[in-house]
Amino acid sequence: MRTVDVQDLQSLAVGAAILGTGGGGDPYIGRLMAEQAIRENGPVTLLDPEALDDEALVLPTAMMGAPTVMIEKIPEGLEAVRALRAAEQRLGRRADATSPIECGGLNSMIPFIVAARTGLPVVDGDGMGRAFPELQMETFHVYGLSGTPAALADEHGSTVLLETPDNVRLEWLARGLTIRMGGHAHLVDYPMRGADFKRTAVWRTISMAIAIGEAVLQAPHRGQDPVEAIAEATQGTLYGRAVPLFEGKVVDVERRTEGGFAVGQATIAGLGPDAGATLVIRFQNENLAAVREGEVLAIVPDLIAVLDAETGMAVTTERLRYGQRVRVIGIPTPEIMRSDAALAVWGPQAFGLPWPFVPLERRFPDYYRRYGVPKGKEKYLEV
């Protein structure tokens, strides 16, 4: 049985920031909270979905909104445990496991706080396979699960239990509550049976995030290029090998707030092999499309990560700055994220983009013929 210790959290933070695709919230404060919880209570069991009992009760845990970073005092994260207990009370049953709803960014960490403080295992999988901004943007929703009973808890001791037949309404009500709770809240949503988790989740995303983070952190010690290290770490996963898209220097960032989202684009002037070309990255919290000279290289829900050129660490959209040297990579998303039902929720059109979804494997067939694709993705390599 695999466990996650304090060192794994360090890797997870690095990997989850890359899977955050520019958004998802900085894992830093969540990592401090999870570290403290694991230091006090010992390592957390990371449960492979295969080992999850069909009848187990899984209560996914997460944070909504923007956390207030308190530099003097690391929050204990007991709000998420309180949300869990409220959901258990409603369901009349104790949880057998928790899981992330979102493996990218901050929400990779929250389940480890809950797990360390309650003794529950964390199931190795999530409902986004990356980061997305809203609660209905979940494979759990796409494949028919109810988001409720959901429970929210804030740092003022308030707990709210939500039940609604409509997952979009869950997002609407929970978002309103989060604002009134002071801008952020911990939550449990999509309570489900083990069998439903196995059927609807994106599998093994936490172990993949840890592996990606380890690869990035180890690369300098091995004299390895960090992008090459990420490519190797993703090879053999459900996703498939990360592909280098571009390298260059940030020359322009436009950013505005629309409906609570950070919307805009970054322009990167090519260097090295990309000298003379320009890449534009469109984002709405998360990176949505990478467009080179008018040609779409990668598009949501495939993952687009902007990395520091030297270290390979993720640069979030909010930290994009003029003059940064960056490398941009794409990671193909798993097939469960690409069904018609899934694309209706988070495909390019759902974000108002004018381009259709074209999988990275189809866009870069030579690359993927060379390195291979996971089972189920061979169709993209047919001529």
Residues in the site for a second copy, rule: CB under 8 A? 86, 89-90, 156-166, 169, 172-173, 176-177, 179-181
Q: CA-to-CA distance for 301 and 318, rounded, in angstroms?
A: 20
Q: What are phi and psi of 145, to 5 degrees?
A: -85, 155
Which of 2/90 has CB closer to a second copy? Answer: 90
Which of 169/362 has CB closer to a second copy? Answer: 169
Q: CA-to-CA distance for 65 and 285, rounded, in angstroms?
A: 12
Which of 64/250 has CB closer to a second copy? Answer: 64
Q: Least distance in Å: CB of 351 to a second copy?
A: 23
Contact 128, 136 (CB under 8 A): no
Q: Least distance in Å: CB of 259 to a second copy?
A: 14
Q: CA-to-CA distance for 41 and 303, rounded, in angstroms?
A: 34
Q: CA-to-CA distance for 64 and 162, rounded, in angstroms?
A: 14
Q: Least distance in Å: CB of 149 to a second copy?
A: 9
Which of 18/185 has CB closer to a second copy? Answer: 185
Which of 181/329 has CB closer to a second copy? Answer: 181
Write the single-letter amino acid at 314: A
Q: Least distance in Å: CB of 191 to a second copy?
A: 15
Which of 182/273 has CB closer to a second copy? Answer: 182
Which of 33/181 has CB closer to a second copy? Answer: 181
Q: Least distance in Å: CB of 167 to a second copy?
A: 11
Q: Least distance in Å: CB of 93 to a second copy?
A: 14
Q: Least distance in Å: CB of 2 to a second copy?
A: 36
Query: Which two three-digit tokens encode residue 149?
Result: 């009973």
Which of 188/315 has CB closer to a second copy? Answer: 188
In sequence order, the 6+-apart residues with CB closer than 8 A to the CB of 146 are 165, 167, 190
* DSSP per position, 167-215: HHHHHHHHHHHHHHTTSEEEEE---EEHHHHHHHSEETHHHHHHHHHHH
Q: Are strands 122-123 and 44-47 parallel, antiparallel or unpaired?
A: parallel
Q: CA-to-CA distance for 354 and 4, rounded, in angstroms?
A: 42
- What's the number of CA atoms in the CB half-sphere (13 Å) around residue 197? 33
Using left for φ > 0, alpha for ψ between -120 and 50, and beta otherwise, residue 372 falls in left
Q: What are phi and psi of 304, to 5 degrees?
A: -120, 120
Which of 85/327 has CB closer to a second copy? Answer: 85
Q: Least distance in Å: CB of 144 to a second copy?
A: 17
Q: Least distance in Å: CB of 156 to a second copy?
A: 6
Which of 10/89 has CB closer to a second copy? Answer: 89
Sheet holding 286-292, edge to edge: 295-299, 286-292, 278-284, 261-270, 243-258, 325-331, 303-308
Q: Least distance in Å: CB of 181 to a second copy?
A: 7
Q: CA-to-CA distance for 335 and 353, rounded, in angstroms?
A: 21
Query: Which two three-digit tokens encode residue 161?
Result: 């239990």
